[in-house]
Amino acid sequence: MKHRLVPGSTAGCALHSLRRGLLLLPKPTFARHAVCAAVAGSCGGSSQRRPYSAKPPFTTLSPRQPSLHPHSSTLELPLPMGEQLRHMMRLLPHSVLVCTSFSPTSQNQQPRAMTVSSFTSLSLSPALVTFHVATPSRTLDAIKTSGVLNFHVLSGDELGAGVAAHFTSGNNESVFSGEGLRGAGLRVRTEGGYAGGSQGKDDQERVEEKEEAKEGQLAPVLEGQGVMYVLRCKLFKEAQDGVVMVRDHAIVVAEVVEIIETSGRTEEGHESFGLVYADRHYRGLGETFVRSEGGGEDVLRRFEETGADSD
């Protein structure tokens, strides 16, 4: 796979960790803290479309301690700084989303997708988001050519982990085949219909697609129980046409034009937190820390309004 995930504000170490993690495990696992958010997608949700579901390839494990730390080594010499950074980044949880686009120059406008762990918001006004990707990348090429992309917020459970894992194998033919999508419990809506067949599409959906097509090109939309929200975006041209190169990595800056809710609520009506990745495992959120004395709510409110990077 040519695409590498780039955690946080660093350039390029997560996908190598992801690969190693998947290879080291005899069976895929989903590590979750003891106190978990409600499971989205385990019930009906609010979406009117009901894609078929598949048995998730992940199971939930009890909490585990970190397997490595930055200075872990059996050698007398210290690890190279890049390896120390890689180990340290494993201790930090990163959001996991799937980014989709399409290649206008390919036959049938071939859909492209990749799992990313470097997604973050950049600005609220305008509504900007960003992520990093190593080059060369076919998904990045599609984004630059089409100018549109979608980010899919995955549920923090086994279903979301299955969707994330499905798009870590590169843009091969099986990723968007009918069998491959069914295995991940997904269907993919494109401007021309559904990838892998037109399962479940009714007249109303055809009308909606035609109306959307009039407004411009559409990046593929993933539909399934492991997907909570879809952020429809376009490249932010003011920032070097939306792609800022830093050596062999690209920082993609996109403007959010619409947020679509899919299966984001449980039977109890609760939101689920999104999927995260740390120490070579997909994870759900754990404990919540609150102040034992007054004043905590004001601090949290200021943090939410201004962001962590403001002073």
Q: What is the pLDDT of residues 135-149, one digit of tens each?
A: 999 999 999 999 999
The rounded distance, in Å, linking the Cα atoms of 227 and 212 is 21
The pLDDT-based confidence of 20 (bands split at 50, 70, 90) is: very low
At residue 10, does pLDDT exceed 50?
Answer: no
Fold of 14-306: Pnp Oxidase; Chain A (2.30.110)
Least confident of 112-121, 167-176, 188-197: 188-197
Residue among 295, 262, 280, 252 nearest 45 (CA): 262
> Domain residues of the chain, as ranges?
14-306
Q: Which of 41-55, 89-103, 119-133, 178-192 has the lowest mean pLDDT?
A: 41-55
Flag whether the pTM goes above 0.75. no
Query: Does residue 55 or residue 253 have the better pLDDT?
Result: 253
Distance CA 173, CA 180 (A): 9
Would you state the structure tokens that stand for residue 154, as one six-digit string?
């995955």
Proportion of the chain above pLDDT 90, given as a percent = 36
Whole-number Å distance between alpha carbons of 226 and 142: 24
Contacts of 164 (CB under 8 A, 6+ apart): 96, 98, 115, 154, 275, 277, 282
Helix (H, G, I), strand (E, B) or coil at 193: strand
Q: Are 106 and 117 in contact (CB under 8 A)?
A: no
Residue 205: predicted pLDDT:
53
User: Which has the higher per-residue pLDDT, 5 or 249?
Assistant: 249
Query: In the structure, what pLDDT confidence band is assigned to residue 207 with cuts at 50, 70 and 90?
Result: very low
* pLDDT at residue number 73: 57
Q: What distance in Å separates the CA atoms of residue 260 and residue 254, rounded to the nearest whole number?
A: 16
Tell whether the model's pLDDT for residue 166 goes beyond 70: yes
| Residues 171, 139: Cα–Cα separation, whole Å | 8
Mean pLDDT, rounded, of the chain: 74
